[in-house]
Amino acid sequence: MPEAEKNKKRKKWREEKRKQKDKKKSSEQAATKIASTKDSSARKSRVKRENYKDIYIAAQNRNIYLHRALETMRKRLYRLQKSKMQEKNKSEAELNRLKARNEILEASLKLTYRQCESSKERHVIKKIANNYLVKSSKAVIHFQKKNRPENTSSK
């Protein structure tokens, strides 16, 4: 074979090899492009899942915090109701005690009034019974506050 033909064949062979390489590169690039788009969509979905997971965890933590706060408020309300009920019962007991004391005082005053021999004594007892402070029990309460043990010990 002459040299010119050999050079033509070599040139042709080199062209074919170049084309094959280019074809191979383009097919690889296309494959990587497809893979990269698949990877990018997979990455996007993974990022979304992670975001949803973070949001879910944050919501759970917030729910736990609010539930704890709710239970704390329930306990506080229960304690407050219990203390107010105890105060109410204590006040009612004190009121009943004062009413009973007033009834006893009235009964003893009436008995004393009946047993008085002179009209002067009866007049004094009547004056005491008709006194505004005695009627409204303010004098009794004022007397009790004045003679409490904590008030007398400080003097």
- For residue range 96-120, list pLDDT tens digits in order: 998 898 888 888 888 888 888 888 8
Sequence ranges of the domains in the chain: 3-99, 116-155
Alpha helices by DSSP H, listed for 116-137, are 119-129, 132-135
List the single range of 45-49, 83-87, 140-144 with lowest mean pLDDT.
140-144
Percent of the chain whose predicted confidence (pLDDT) is above 70: 80
pLDDT at 154 (0 to 100): 46
CB-based contact 140:98 (threshold 8 Å): yes
How far is 1 from 74, CA to CA, in rounded Å? 105
**44 compared with 67, residue with greater pLDDT:** 67
CB-based contact 150:130 (threshold 8 Å): no
- For residue range 57-75, list pLDDT tens digits in order: 999 999 999 999 999 999 9
- The predicted model scores a pTM of 0.44
Within a 10 A sphere around the Cβ of 124, how many other Cβ atoms? Answer: 13
